Amino acid sequence: MAITIRIFKNADDAGIYVASIAEMVIRQQQHPVLGLATGSTPIPFYKALVNLYDCGLDLSHVTTVNLDEYVGLSGDHPQSYRYFMQEQLFSKTNLHQQNTHVPNGVAEDLDQECHRYDQILQKHTIDFQILGIGLNGHIGFNEPSDTLLAKTHVVHLKEATVKSNARFFESIDQVPNQAITMGVQAILQAKKIVLMAFGEEKASIIEQVILGDVSTNIPASILQLHQDIHFVLDIASASKLLANEKAKKTLGLKVR
Ligand code: PGA
Protein backbone atom coordinates (compact mmCIF):
# COMPACT_ATOMS: atom_id res chain seq x y z
CA MET A 1 0.00 0.00 0.00
CA ALA A 2 1.51 3.32 -1.03
CA ILE A 3 -0.40 6.01 0.79
CA THR A 4 0.92 9.55 0.87
CA ILE A 5 -0.74 12.06 3.16
CA ARG A 6 -0.10 15.81 2.88
CA ILE A 7 -1.68 18.19 5.35
CA PHE A 8 -1.87 21.87 4.45
CA LYS A 9 -2.87 24.94 6.44
CA ASN A 10 -5.68 25.68 4.05
CA ALA A 11 -7.44 24.48 0.91
CA ASP A 12 -5.83 27.12 -1.34
CA ASP A 13 -2.31 25.86 -0.54
CA ALA A 14 -3.53 22.30 -1.08
CA GLY A 15 -5.02 23.27 -4.46
CA ILE A 16 -1.70 24.70 -5.61
CA TYR A 17 0.06 21.50 -4.57
CA VAL A 18 -2.39 19.28 -6.45
CA ALA A 19 -2.22 21.51 -9.54
CA SER A 20 1.56 21.14 -9.52
CA ILE A 21 1.17 17.34 -9.55
CA ALA A 22 -1.27 17.72 -12.45
CA GLU A 23 1.26 19.87 -14.29
CA MET A 24 3.90 17.17 -13.90
CA VAL A 25 1.53 14.55 -15.35
CA ILE A 26 0.46 16.88 -18.18
CA ARG A 27 4.05 17.61 -19.15
CA GLN A 28 5.22 14.00 -18.93
CA GLN A 29 2.55 12.42 -21.12
CA GLN A 30 1.97 12.83 -24.81
CA HIS A 31 -1.80 12.42 -24.41
CA PRO A 32 -2.52 12.99 -20.74
CA VAL A 33 -5.91 12.01 -19.34
CA LEU A 34 -7.20 13.76 -16.23
CA GLY A 35 -10.08 12.31 -14.22
CA LEU A 36 -12.00 15.25 -12.80
CA ALA A 37 -14.44 15.81 -9.96
CA THR A 38 -17.01 18.44 -9.05
CA GLY A 39 -18.25 19.84 -5.72
CA SER A 40 -16.75 22.53 -3.54
CA THR A 41 -13.58 20.59 -2.71
CA PRO A 42 -11.76 20.72 -6.08
CA ILE A 43 -12.42 24.45 -6.66
CA PRO A 44 -9.03 25.60 -5.26
CA PHE A 45 -7.36 23.01 -7.51
CA TYR A 46 -9.14 24.33 -10.61
CA LYS A 47 -8.21 27.91 -9.65
CA ALA A 48 -4.56 26.90 -9.37
CA LEU A 49 -4.66 24.96 -12.64
CA VAL A 50 -6.16 27.97 -14.44
CA ASN A 51 -3.38 30.08 -12.91
CA LEU A 52 -0.80 27.66 -14.32
CA TYR A 53 -2.49 27.87 -17.71
CA ASP A 54 -2.31 31.68 -17.49
CA CYS A 55 1.41 31.28 -16.78
CA GLY A 56 1.98 29.17 -19.88
CA LEU A 57 0.90 25.57 -19.16
CA ASP A 58 -0.55 24.10 -22.36
CA LEU A 59 -3.70 21.99 -21.99
CA SER A 60 -4.50 21.60 -25.66
CA HIS A 61 -3.40 17.95 -25.72
CA VAL A 62 -5.23 16.99 -22.51
CA THR A 63 -8.33 14.78 -22.37
CA THR A 64 -10.63 15.00 -19.35
CA VAL A 65 -13.20 12.53 -18.06
CA ASN A 66 -15.54 13.55 -15.26
CA LEU A 67 -16.79 11.22 -12.59
CA ASP A 68 -20.50 11.88 -12.75
CA GLU A 69 -23.54 13.89 -13.76
CA TYR A 70 -27.06 14.36 -12.43
CA VAL A 71 -29.79 12.55 -14.33
CA GLY A 72 -32.27 15.07 -15.76
CA LEU A 73 -29.94 18.08 -15.93
CA SER A 74 -28.60 19.12 -19.31
CA GLY A 75 -25.16 20.64 -19.71
CA ASP A 76 -26.52 24.19 -19.79
CA HIS A 77 -28.32 23.82 -16.45
CA PRO A 78 -26.35 25.87 -13.87
CA GLN A 79 -26.33 23.00 -11.36
CA SER A 80 -25.20 20.38 -13.86
CA TYR A 81 -21.65 19.12 -13.54
CA ARG A 82 -20.91 19.91 -17.20
CA TYR A 83 -21.82 23.53 -16.47
CA PHE A 84 -19.66 23.52 -13.32
CA MET A 85 -16.67 22.25 -15.30
CA GLN A 86 -17.27 24.80 -18.02
CA GLU A 87 -17.27 27.61 -15.43
CA GLN A 88 -14.35 26.40 -13.32
CA LEU A 89 -11.95 25.10 -15.96
CA PHE A 90 -12.97 24.37 -19.53
CA SER A 91 -13.89 27.90 -20.63
CA LYS A 92 -10.84 29.39 -18.91
CA THR A 93 -8.17 27.28 -20.60
CA ASN A 94 -7.25 25.95 -24.03
CA LEU A 95 -8.75 22.51 -23.34
CA HIS A 96 -10.57 21.40 -26.48
CA GLN A 97 -14.29 20.96 -25.90
CA GLN A 98 -14.28 17.67 -27.84
CA ASN A 99 -11.64 16.29 -25.44
CA THR A 100 -13.79 16.94 -22.36
CA HIS A 101 -16.11 14.14 -21.31
CA VAL A 102 -18.97 14.31 -18.81
CA PRO A 103 -21.83 11.79 -18.81
CA ASN A 104 -24.96 13.09 -20.53
CA GLY A 105 -27.63 13.38 -17.83
CA VAL A 106 -30.43 13.86 -20.34
CA ALA A 107 -29.60 10.92 -22.61
CA GLU A 108 -32.78 9.22 -23.81
CA ASP A 109 -31.42 5.78 -23.05
CA LEU A 110 -29.42 5.92 -19.81
CA ASP A 111 -28.10 2.35 -20.08
CA GLN A 112 -26.74 3.13 -23.50
CA GLU A 113 -25.20 6.33 -22.15
CA CYS A 114 -23.43 4.33 -19.41
CA HIS A 115 -22.12 1.96 -22.06
CA ARG A 116 -20.96 4.88 -24.25
CA TYR A 117 -19.13 6.36 -21.25
CA ASP A 118 -17.40 3.07 -20.47
CA GLN A 119 -16.16 2.94 -24.03
CA ILE A 120 -14.66 6.41 -23.61
CA LEU A 121 -13.01 5.24 -20.38
CA GLN A 122 -11.64 2.15 -22.07
CA LYS A 123 -9.98 4.31 -24.69
CA HIS A 124 -8.62 6.76 -22.13
CA THR A 125 -6.90 5.22 -19.12
CA ILE A 126 -6.77 7.95 -16.50
CA ASP A 127 -3.27 9.19 -15.70
CA PHE A 128 -4.32 11.39 -12.82
CA GLN A 129 -7.65 11.15 -10.99
CA ILE A 130 -8.78 13.79 -8.53
CA LEU A 131 -11.49 12.95 -6.01
CA GLY A 132 -13.51 14.65 -3.33
CA ILE A 133 -15.30 12.57 -0.74
CA GLY A 134 -18.89 12.59 0.50
CA LEU A 135 -19.60 12.72 4.22
CA ASN A 136 -20.75 9.11 3.86
CA GLY A 137 -17.53 8.08 2.09
CA HIS A 138 -18.82 8.09 -1.48
CA ILE A 139 -16.43 8.67 -4.36
CA GLY A 140 -18.00 9.91 -7.56
CA PHE A 141 -21.55 8.87 -6.76
CA ASN A 142 -20.56 5.37 -5.70
CA GLU A 143 -22.68 5.34 -2.58
CA PRO A 144 -22.25 3.08 0.49
CA SER A 145 -23.81 -0.31 -0.21
CA ASP A 146 -23.28 -4.05 0.22
CA THR A 147 -21.82 -4.09 -3.27
CA LEU A 148 -19.89 -1.66 -5.42
CA LEU A 149 -20.31 -1.60 -9.19
CA ALA A 150 -17.31 -1.75 -11.46
CA LYS A 151 -18.83 -0.06 -14.51
CA THR A 152 -20.54 3.26 -15.18
CA HIS A 153 -24.09 3.06 -13.87
CA VAL A 154 -27.19 4.96 -12.84
CA VAL A 155 -27.40 5.40 -9.08
CA HIS A 156 -30.20 6.44 -6.73
CA LEU A 157 -28.64 9.02 -4.46
CA LYS A 158 -28.81 8.43 -0.73
CA GLU A 159 -30.93 10.82 1.29
CA ALA A 160 -27.80 12.17 3.00
CA THR A 161 -26.23 12.98 -0.38
CA VAL A 162 -29.36 14.75 -1.65
CA LYS A 163 -29.48 16.75 1.61
CA SER A 164 -25.81 17.64 1.42
CA ASN A 165 -26.07 18.73 -2.22
CA ALA A 166 -29.18 20.84 -1.55
CA ARG A 167 -26.82 23.73 -0.64
CA PHE A 168 -26.15 24.18 -4.37
CA PHE A 169 -29.87 24.37 -5.29
CA GLU A 170 -32.66 26.80 -4.40
CA SER A 171 -34.57 24.05 -2.59
CA ILE A 172 -34.08 20.38 -1.78
CA ASP A 173 -36.95 19.41 -4.13
CA GLN A 174 -34.84 20.56 -7.05
CA VAL A 175 -31.96 18.17 -6.28
CA PRO A 176 -32.09 15.23 -8.70
CA ASN A 177 -32.24 11.90 -6.89
CA GLN A 178 -30.46 9.99 -9.61
CA ALA A 179 -27.06 10.35 -11.22
CA ILE A 180 -24.80 8.61 -13.70
CA THR A 181 -21.48 7.74 -12.13
CA MET A 182 -18.24 6.15 -13.21
CA GLY A 183 -17.85 2.82 -11.40
CA VAL A 184 -14.95 1.89 -9.15
CA GLN A 185 -13.06 0.08 -11.90
CA ALA A 186 -12.11 3.17 -13.92
CA ILE A 187 -11.24 5.01 -10.70
CA LEU A 188 -8.96 2.23 -9.46
CA GLN A 189 -7.34 1.88 -12.87
CA ALA A 190 -6.16 5.48 -12.69
CA LYS A 191 -2.37 5.53 -12.48
CA LYS A 192 -2.29 8.17 -9.76
CA ILE A 193 -5.11 9.31 -7.48
CA VAL A 194 -5.41 12.36 -5.25
CA LEU A 195 -8.33 12.51 -2.82
CA MET A 196 -8.83 15.98 -1.37
CA ALA A 197 -10.87 16.72 1.74
CA PHE A 198 -11.20 20.01 3.59
CA GLY A 199 -13.02 21.11 6.71
CA GLU A 200 -13.80 19.59 10.07
CA GLU A 201 -16.96 17.85 8.89
CA LYS A 202 -14.75 15.52 6.81
CA ALA A 203 -12.45 14.60 9.74
CA SER A 204 -14.39 11.56 10.83
CA ILE A 205 -14.82 9.99 7.38
CA ILE A 206 -11.15 10.66 6.58
CA GLU A 207 -10.10 8.85 9.75
CA GLN A 208 -12.30 5.87 8.82
CA VAL A 209 -11.11 5.78 5.22
CA ILE A 210 -7.44 5.80 6.14
CA LEU A 211 -7.38 3.82 9.38
CA GLY A 212 -10.45 1.61 9.03
CA ASP A 213 -11.03 -1.65 7.18
CA VAL A 214 -11.75 -1.74 3.46
CA SER A 215 -15.53 -1.89 3.18
CA THR A 216 -18.11 -1.27 0.46
CA ASN A 217 -20.05 0.63 3.11
CA ILE A 218 -17.30 3.24 2.98
CA PRO A 219 -16.54 3.26 -0.76
CA ALA A 220 -13.44 5.49 -0.47
CA SER A 221 -11.79 2.88 1.79
CA ILE A 222 -11.17 0.82 -1.36
CA LEU A 223 -8.50 3.40 -2.24
CA GLN A 224 -6.29 1.75 0.39
CA LEU A 225 -5.74 -0.94 -2.26
CA HIS A 226 -4.38 1.52 -4.83
CA GLN A 227 -0.67 1.67 -5.55
CA ASP A 228 -0.34 5.45 -5.82
CA ILE A 229 -2.92 7.17 -3.65
CA HIS A 230 -2.45 10.61 -2.11
CA PHE A 231 -4.70 12.16 0.51
CA VAL A 232 -4.46 15.94 0.44
CA LEU A 233 -6.03 17.43 3.55
CA ASP A 234 -6.23 20.60 5.55
CA ILE A 235 -5.61 20.69 9.29
CA ALA A 236 -9.35 20.49 10.02
CA SER A 237 -10.06 17.38 7.92
CA ALA A 238 -6.89 15.75 9.30
CA SER A 239 -7.74 16.66 12.90
CA LYS A 240 -8.80 13.15 13.97
CA LEU A 241 -5.71 11.58 12.41
CA LEU A 242 -3.50 14.16 14.09
CA ALA A 243 -5.13 13.50 17.45
CA ASN A 244 -4.26 9.81 17.15
CA GLU A 245 -0.62 9.57 18.30
CA LYS A 246 -0.14 6.04 16.96
CA ALA A 247 -1.51 6.92 13.51
CA LYS A 248 0.53 10.10 13.49
CA LYS A 249 3.68 8.08 14.01
CA THR A 250 2.94 5.18 11.63
CA LEU A 251 1.74 7.45 8.85
CA GLY A 252 4.56 9.95 9.43
CA LEU A 253 2.11 12.86 9.61
CA LYS A 254 3.58 16.30 9.80
CA VAL A 255 2.06 19.72 9.77
CA ARG A 256 3.79 23.09 9.92
P1 PGA B 1 -17.96 18.50 -1.69
O2 PGA B 1 -18.56 17.14 -2.21
O3 PGA B 1 -16.64 18.67 -2.37
O4 PGA B 1 -18.93 19.56 -2.13
O5 PGA B 1 -17.82 18.40 -0.20
C6 PGA B 1 -17.74 16.03 -2.27
C7 PGA B 1 -18.53 14.82 -2.69
O8 PGA B 1 -19.71 14.70 -2.35
O9 PGA B 1 -17.95 13.95 -3.37
Do 102 and 70 touch, CB atoms closer than 8 A?
A: no
Residue 61: burial class (beta carbons within 10 Å; 0-12, 13-18, 19+): middle
What is the per-residue pLDDT for 195? 98
Domain range 3-211, CATH class? alpha beta
Do 240 and 203 touch, CB atoms closer than 8 A?
A: yes
Q: Among the atoms of ligand 1, which is closest to the Cα of residue 139?
A: 9
Do 197 and 133 touch, CB atoms closer than 8 A?
A: yes
What's the 111 CA to ligand 1 centre distance in angstroms?
A: 25
What's the 161 CA to ligand 1 centre distance in angstroms?
A: 9
User: Between β-strands 63-66 and 3-8, what pairing exists: parallel, antiparallel or unpaired?
Assistant: unpaired
* pLDDT tens profile 83-108: 999 999 999 999 999 999 999 999 99
Mean pLDDT value of segment 227-245: 97
The band of 2, judged by pLDDT with boundaries at 50, 70 and 90, is confident
End-to-end CA distance of the chain: 25
Check if 165 has its Cβ closer than 6 Å to any atom of ligand 1: no
Task: Report residue 65 CA to chain centroid gap.
Answer: 11
Q: Among the atoms of ligand 1, which is closest to the Cα of residue 141?
A: 9
- pTM for the complete prediction? 0.96
**Test site for ligand 1: of 38, 41, 198, 237, most ligand atoms within 8 A of the Cβ:** 41
Check if 39 has its Cβ closer than 6 Å to any atom of ligand 1: yes
Is the pLDDT confidence value at 42 over 90? yes
Check if 40 has its Cβ closer than 6 Å to any atom of ligand 1: yes
Angle at 14 between CA 249 and CA 240, to 5 degrees: 40
* pLDDT tens profile 120-158: 999 999 999 999 999 999 999 999 999 999 999 999 999
What's the 28 CA to ligand 1 centre distance in angstroms?
A: 29
Backbone phi, psi, residue 154, to 5°: -90, 135
What's the 30 CA to ligand 1 centre distance in angstroms?
A: 31
Q: Whose CA is nearest to atom 7 of ligand 1?
A: 134
Q: How far is CA 94 from CA 15, 90, 99, in A?
A: 20, 7, 11
The band of 256, judged by pLDDT with boundaries at 50, 70 and 90, is confident
Q: Is 68 a catalytic residue?
A: yes
What is the per-residue pLDDT for 28? 95
Average pLDDT, the chain: 96
Q: Give the integer Cα–Cα distance in Å for 175 and 7.
A: 32
Q: Is 143 a catalytic residue?
A: yes
Q: Among the atoms of ligand 1, which is closest to the Cα of residue 135?
A: 8
Q: Is 113 a catalytic residue?
A: no
Q: Is 138 a catalytic residue?
A: yes
Domains of the chain, residue spans: 3-211
Q: In what order do the strands lie in the sheet with 63-66?
A: 3-8, 229-234, 192-197, 128-131, 33-36, 63-66, 100-101
